[in-house]
């Protein structure tokens, strides 16, 4: 089942777009099945679950933390995390840099932007982002490799498309103003089970797909 779903999803995704299989709440066996089918990027939204699964599963899995991260929990994921998707404060950035230094590694992360209409979601505005970037050049153990966002949970395709366009424009603006000389600033993480095809049409380079692969939660 899972491997068939994976094949179906991969058919819709061009080679230059990374598929992060979102395995939150799903058991180890489900991840193993996707792993055996060749999947290597997995996403979790809770630190405790991510750490537990990392311990039990093959070490060549690239683990993505896609959910909100509390500063006091950075230390648990710092030794191994592949990409942190939801950085939205300077305080968090400072802590990730500190923990990355302690682990003698460079941690990649994405700046999360608030693109949805709903005001419950986390994420930066462009103004907040610019303040944060003023100081970020001094961080030696972190790399900002792109942006991440979540569209509104609505049926209106026009609205979703516009929110994805907004994130794409934010990426382009940051690239030209701050990251013109850094080739690794190249990731736009947007698109989930319900909207990843739309997201790809609007320029996504990384989709986070859970239920379309693993079934409903
Ligand atoms: C759960 C989650 C996803 C995947 O959602 P599906 O609709 O199951 O594909 C993607 N991104 C984030 C941040 C999530 O929390």
Rounded to the nearest 5 degrees, what angle is found at the Cα of 210, between the Cα atoms of 51 and 128? Answer: 75
Q: What's the pLDDT tens digit per position in 150-171?
A: 999 999 999 999 999 999 999 9
3-state SS class at 112: strand
Q: CA distances (Å), 162 to each of 36, 165, 167, in order?
A: 37, 5, 9
Residue 110 Cα to ligand 1 midpoint, Å, equals: 16
Pocket test for ligand 1, best of 34, 43, 148 (most atoms within 8 A of CB): 43
Residue 22 Cα to ligand 1 midpoint, Å, equals: 6
- Per the prediction, the chain carries an average pLDDT of 95
pTM over 0.85: yes
Helix residue spans in the chain (DSSP H): 2-11, 28-36, 47-56, 74-77, 90-102, 126-136, 157-177, 196-201, 211-214
Pocket test for ligand 1, best of 22, 87, 191, 217 (most atoms within 8 A of CB): 22
**What atom in ligand 1 is closest to the CA of residue 45?**
15
Q: What's the pLDDT tens digit per position in 24-51?
A: 999 999 999 999 999 999 999 999 999 9
**What atom in ligand 1 is closest to the CA of residue 193?**
9
Instruction: Name beta bridge partners: 63.
Output: 42
CB 150 within 8 A of CB 192: yes
Q: CA distances (Å), 96 to each of 15, 61, 205, 217, in order?
A: 30, 21, 24, 30
Residue of 83, 160, 167 whose CA lies nearest to 125? 167
pLDDT band at 122 (very low <50, low <70, confident <90, very high): confident
- Which H or E run contains 64? strand 62-65
């Amino acid at each position: 089942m899972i491997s068939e779903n994976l094949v179906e999803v991969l058919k819709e995704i061009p080679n230059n777009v990374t598929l992060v299989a979102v395995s939150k709440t799903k058991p180890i066996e489900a991840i193993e099945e996707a792993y055996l089918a060749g999947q290597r990027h997995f996403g979790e939204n809770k630190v405790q679950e991510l750490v537990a699964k990392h311990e039990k599963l093959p070490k060549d899995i690239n683990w993505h933390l896609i959910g909100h991260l509390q500063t006091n929990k950075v230390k648990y994921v710092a030794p191994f995390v592949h990409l942190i998707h939801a950085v939205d404060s300077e305080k968090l950035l400072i802590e990730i840099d500190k923990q990355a230094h302690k682990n003698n590694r460079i941690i990649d992360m994405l700046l999360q932007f608030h693109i949805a209409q709903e005001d419950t979601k986390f994420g930066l505005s462009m103004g907040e982002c610019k303040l944060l970037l003023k100081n970020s050049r001094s961080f030696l153990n972190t790399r900002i490799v792109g942006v991440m966002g979540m569209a509104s949970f609505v049926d209106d395709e026009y609205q979703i498309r516009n929110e994805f366009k907004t994130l794409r424009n934010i990426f382009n603006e940051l690239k030209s103003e701050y990251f013109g000389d850094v080739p690794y600033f190249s990731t736009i993480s947007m698109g989930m089970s319900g909207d990843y095809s739309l997201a790809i049409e609007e320029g996504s380079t990384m989709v986070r797909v859970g239920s379309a692969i693993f079934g409903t939660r």
